[in-house]
Structure 1
Amino acid sequence: MLLDGVDHVACLTHDPARLGSFYAAVFDAEIGPTERHGQDGEETMTVMRIGPHTELNVFTIPSSDEADRQTPMWHRGRLDHLGLRASSYATFATIRERLVAHGASDGTVSDFGAAWSMFFRDPDGLEGEVLVPKAADGSHPVAG
Structure 2
Amino acid sequence: MLLSGVDHIACLTHDPARLGDFYRAVFDAEIGSTRSHGQRGEETMTVMRIGPHTELNVFTVPDSDEADRQTPMWHRGRLDHFGLHASSYAAFATIRERLIEHGASDGAINDFGSAYSMFFRDPDGLEGEVLVPKAADGSHPVPGAS
Q: By the TM > 0.5 criterion, same fold?
A: yes
Once residues 100 and 6 of structure 1 are traced to their aligned partners in structure 2, the CA distance between those partners, rounded to angstroms, is: 26
Provide the alpha-carbon RMSD of the alignment: 0.8
Once residues 41 and 56 of structure 2 are traced to their aligned partners in structure 1, the CA distance between those partners, rounded to angstroms, is: 21
AA matched with 1:85: H
Once residues 14 and 115 of structure 1 are traced to their aligned partners in structure 2, the CA distance between those partners, rounded to angstroms, is: 33
Aligned to 1:48: 48
Aligned to 2:112: 112
Aligned to 1:64: 64
Aligned to 2:86: 86
AA matched with 1:28: D
**Structure 2 unmatched runs, 5+:** none
Aligned-pair CA distance for 1:108? 0.3
**Structure 1 unmatched runs, 5+:** none
Aligned-pair CA distance for 1:90? 0.1
TM-score (norm 2): 0.97
Once residues 12 and 106 of structure 1 are traced to their aligned partners in structure 2, the CA distance between those partners, rounded to angstroms, is: 25
Structure 1 consecutive aligned stretches of length 4 or more whose deviation exceeds 6 Å: none
Once residues 143 and 12 of structure 1 are traced to their aligned partners in structure 2, the CA distance between those partners, rounded to angstroms, is: 33
Aligned-pair CA distance for 1:139? 2.1
The number of aligned residues is 144
Once residues 44 and 19 of structure 1 are traced to their aligned partners in structure 2, the CA distance between those partners, rounded to angstroms, is: 14
